[in-house]
Amino acid sequence: MNIYLLLMGVTSSLSAIAQDSIPAVIKGRLNADINNETSGLAASSVNKGSLYIHNDSGDTSRFFLIGKDGTLKAIYTFKANPLMKNGVTDCEDIAVSRGPKGKRYVYIGDIGDNSAKRKYITVYRIKEPKLKLPDKVLAGQVNADPLYLKYPDGPRDAETLMVDPVEKLFYIISKREDSVSVYTAPLLFKPNDTATLTKRCTLFFEGANNGKWISGGSISGDGSQVLVKSYLNVFYWKRKNKEPLWQLLMTPPLKMPYKVEQQGEAIGFATGGNGYYTISEGMHPEVYYYEIK
C-alpha cells in the first residue's frame, strides 16, 4: 500500500520557516566526549527528568542516562553478540515502554544496515534501571534479552524503532528508500526468539534524501501521539481511537517545529507526551525541547 503525503516545503533547503523563529528551547548540551554519535533518545519513566541516549555504529553494547541538561549520569553496558567485536552492529534507536508482567523496559534497536545485507537485526529488551546515586556517574552492567528479526522482503537499513503500547507491537520504519516501509513485530517475546517482521505499508515523503529519509521516531507513553523525523522535518500524528498505528501513519501528518541540526537523528517524547526532545550527532550537541501546544 502506498500513500503520498502532500507536504509543502520539504526540500534540501532548511525550511520556509526562519530558523531563528522556531520555538526551540535549549535545555543544555551533552557534556561527555563519549556521547559523540547520538542516534536514539527516550525519556526515562523511573528516573524522572532524565533521558536515555546511545551512539550508533562503532560503539559497544551500551547506552547512557543523561539529565535534560545533557549531563551524563550513568553508563549501562549489556551482553550482546559474543561473536562480534563490539557486541552490536549499529544501534540506531531506543524506546521505553512496558513489557512482560507490565514492567518498564528499555528497548534498543540494533537495526542499522547501511549496505542492506544483514540477515537478521536485533532488538534488546532491558529492565529499566533505577539510578540510586544521582550525584555521581554510575557504570553498571544490565541484563538484555535479544529478539532476532528478519525482514519479509529482504534486508533494509532502518533507524527508527518505536513501541506501540496499544497494539503491543514494535514498529520499525526503513530509512534510505524513495518510499519507506513500515514493519511490525510482537512486543512480547521470549529471550532469543526469532521472528519475521510484518510489512504493513509504505510512506512517501517529498523532497531530496534529507527530506524523505526517516532517521528516528517516537510514540508517546499512552500511545496517543506519534513523531517521525527526517533530517529536515518532524512529522506528527494524533491517534483519535485505537486504530492500528500503521493506518494512522497513512494519513497526512502535521509538520511540527524543528530547528534543523547538523545531523539530527534522535527524537523522543517527554514523559507525559506534552513535548519532545531532539539531539544531533557530534561533539557536545544541544539538547533541544519543543512544547506540543
Whole-Å CA distances, 202 to 119, 124, 214: 21, 25, 12
User: What pLDDT, in 10s, does the model give residues 11-36?
Assistant: 333 344 456 667 899 999 999 999 99
Is 42 in contact with 59 (CB distance < 8 Å)?
no
Question: For residue 210, what pLDDT is reported?
Answer: 82
Question: For residue 19, what pLDDT is reported?
Answer: 62
| Mean pLDDT of all residues in 190-212 | 93
Residue closest to 277 by CA, chosen among 261, 291, 263: 291
Rg of the chain over CA atoms, in angstroms? 17
Question: Cβ of 36: how many Cβ atoms within 10 Å?
Answer: 15
| Mean pLDDT of all residues in 123-151 | 92
The domain made up of 2-291 is a member of CATH 2.120.10: yes
Q: Residue by residue, what is the 3-state secondary structure of 213-279? A: CEEEEEECCCCCEEEEEECCCEEEEECCCCCCHHHHHCCCCEEECCCCCCCEEEEEECCCCCEEEEE
Question: For residue 187, what pLDDT is reported?
Answer: 98
**Where do the structural domains in the chain lie, given as residue ranges?**
2-291
User: What pLDDT, in 10s, does the model give residues 32-69?
Assistant: 999 999 999 999 999 999 999 999 999 999 999 999 99
